[in-house]
Each structure stands twice: as C-alpha cells, then as structure tokens.
Amino acid sequence: MRAVVFDEVRAVPEVRTVPEPALPADGVLVAVAATGMCRSDWHAWAGHDDIAFPHVPGHELAGTIIAAGPAVTRWHVGDRVTVPFVCGCGRCQWCLSGNAQVCPDQQQPGFTHWGSFAEVVALHAADVNLVAIPDEVDFATAASLGCRFATAFRAVVGRAGAREGEWVAVIGAGGVGLSAVMIARARGARVIAVDRNPEALAVAREVGAEHALLADGADIPAAVAELTGGGAHVSIDAVGSEQTLADAVLGLRRRGRHVQIGLLPPVDGHPRVPMDRVIGWELDLLGSHGMAASDYPEMMSLIAQGALAPQRLIERTIGLEEAARLLPEFDRATVAGMTMIDPRRAG
Ligand SMILES: [Zn+2]
Ligand SMILES: [Zn+2]
C-alpha cells in the first residue's frame, strides 16, 4: 500500500510503498477513503508522543472494511465506518461504562500503531470502537468527526453542558474551535470566537459566532466580559498555550466552566493557571479527550438531519504527496478549517 512514512523524529516524511498492516483478531482492515490532517499529527512528527519508527501518521478517518478478524461479530466486509481517534480495549471498567475515551489500555491509530495517511489502516477492538456511517453522510464528512469535531461535541455538550442562551467563548478558530462554535450555536448558545487570524474569524462568523475578537495583543478577558455582561458561562481553549488558557479562564463569569481541548504537552513546560480566580469564583476546569463510539449516535443523527454540518469546515482536499510535504509545517499552517486527505488521489 502507499503511505506517508517517516523514520525518526522530525525526519522528512515520504510517500512509500509498504506492506499492509496485519489484521488484528478482534479488529478490521479499512480501505481509507478520507483522513483529516490535524495538529496532533504534527505533534507526533515533532517527537511529543511516544511512537515507534518507521511511523505512519493519521487518526481521523473513514473508509470501507476490506477484512474482518475472526473475533469480530458486529461488522462485515463492505461496511462504511469511522472511528474515534481514541479506541478503547473494550474490556476495562471505563470501556464497559461507555468511557472508552479514557481507556487506560487505549489504541490510537497514527500513535500506538500505523495510522490512516495510507491506503489501508488496521483498527482494533472493532466491536467496541467502530461507528457505522449513515447513507446520507459521505466519507469526508465522517472523517472530519474523528478527532476535532467529536472532541468539540464532547467538550461543548458532554463536558461543559452548554445550554440555550448561555455565552460560550471559544479561543482558537482552527478545526476544533470552529467545530465548537458550530456545535455551541446549534445548542442555542451565544458564541464569541477569538483568534489571531482574521480569515479564521470570518469563517467562525459564518458557522455561528455572534462576535469575533482578533487576538492582536488586546485584553481578551476584558473584551469578553464587556460583550457578555460579566463573562462567559463556558470557555473553551482550542489552542493550548499558557496565554490562551489564561484568556479563556479569565474571560469566565463567576461559577463558569472551562474546557481544555488544545494540547499542552509537557515538553513545553506546564502552564501557569490563574488558580486564585478558579478558587475565588468557583470555576470548573474540565479536560476533554475525544469521544467514545458509544456517544456518537446523537452527533451522527444531528449530522444526518443536517442540524450539524461538519463538512462546511473542510477547507481543502489533498493527496498523500501533498500531505507528506505539509506535515512538518502543520503547526503553523494558516488554513481556516480542516485539511482532508484522499489517499486514492494522485499528488
Ligand atoms: Zn486530530
Ligand atoms: Zn478499556
């Protein structure tokens, strides 16, 4: 199969022909039809994750099952499927309680094994982790859910519990931030988007932000407090830096809820968090880590009905060669929205 491969931390990624992955007894092989490119792929390439080499990145995918292991009961060759980026073991207390997203024995394609920047990917514990794609939903739309959209859905709905009429401040209008804007708006919340990129803010407005704040050195918490009459009910840091975390937390009203989605890898040093404010104003600090397959049906039915349209966030579609070229610079890629890869496409 053709795949994007790199041989060590920060080595130049190349498209090569490599053997297909082995079929797990409890898993499937999927012919990848669409796979999203994400900053987490860049983190893996840059050495922020524990990965084995040579490595194939990619964790936001959709495709068709081409082989199923003997222990798989729910899925068959030809099924159209997607998968959360965190795949649970299916056996532990967390998986059995519907929380595979925090499984201590989790697998992540593109991290714990070869991922989906390839013609074929292996997925483990298929009966627990796969999600059927409804006929109305195309592969690119389904692939766009796997990491950022599902993570945003979990953050806004499952973790923050954002309600109609509440103010939600979303810091960062990349793929996950724009997803959060769209989902919060669909919940009836009023949304403020913050970003350094005016283009990204324009998209944020299109997908539901009532206000867009340019982070050009301005006092973001003060601006949010002004717009909302005392601060947002919910804040989401979709970037992951000491500055964006502080802006998000300090932009909350008393008893507000903050959800951290943007990754803060220890390699950058642990961020200082304004805990005096957290205590004095009784703020909730929440983490969010993907979403279990068992929580997908609500989101998938809203998409099939057209109430949520993640495909609007797909900015461009590229082939594997272009993906290999882009990966090393993806931490500063400036596209507003998602980059989708079609491994079957030339170039
Ligand atoms: Zn991702
Ligand atoms: Zn588990």
Ligand nearest to the CA of 124: 2
CA-CA distance, 337 to 204, in Å (whole number)?
9
Same structural domain, 176 and 263: yes
Domain assignment present for residue 296? The answer is no
Same structural domain, 127 and 237: no
Between the CA of 85 and the centroid of ligand 1 the distance, in Å, is 7
The CATH number of whichever domain residue 177 belongs to comes to 3.40.50.720
Ligand nearest to the CA of 106: 2
Selection from 55, 60, 12, 21 nearest residue 40 by Cα: 60
- Give the containing element (helix H, strand E) for 61: strand 60-68
Query: 């199969």: which residue's tokens?
Result: 1
pLDDT value for 336: 67
pLDDT value for 111: 97
Residue 20 burial class via C-beta count within 10 angstroms: exposed 0-12, middle 13-18, buried 19 and up: middle
313-342 pLDDT, tens digit each: 898 999 999 999 999 998 876 566 789 999
Selection from 332, 329, 321 nearest residue 341 by Cα: 321
pLDDT value for 117: 98
What's the total number of domains in the chain?
A: 2
Between the CA of 97 and the centroid of ligand 2 the distance, in Å, is 9
CA-CA distance, 217 to 153, in Å (whole number)?
29
Same structural domain, 21 and 127: yes
Residue type, 142: A
Q: How many CA atoms lie within 13 A of 36 on its CB side?
A: 33
CA-CA distance, 289 to 263, in Å (whole number)?
10
Q: Which domain holds residue 34?
A: 2-143+309-341
Is 203 in contact with 337 (CB distance < 8 Å)?
Answer: yes
Between the CA of 214 and the centroid of ligand 1 the distance, in Å, is 25
- List average pLDDT for each run of 10 residues in the chain, which is 347 residues long: 98 98 97 94 92 97 98 98 95 94 95 98 96 96 92 97 98 93 96 95 96 95 98 97 96 98 84 96 96 94 92 92 95 76 90
Domain assignment present for residue 347? The answer is no
CA-CA distance, 296 to 101, in Å (whole number)?
12
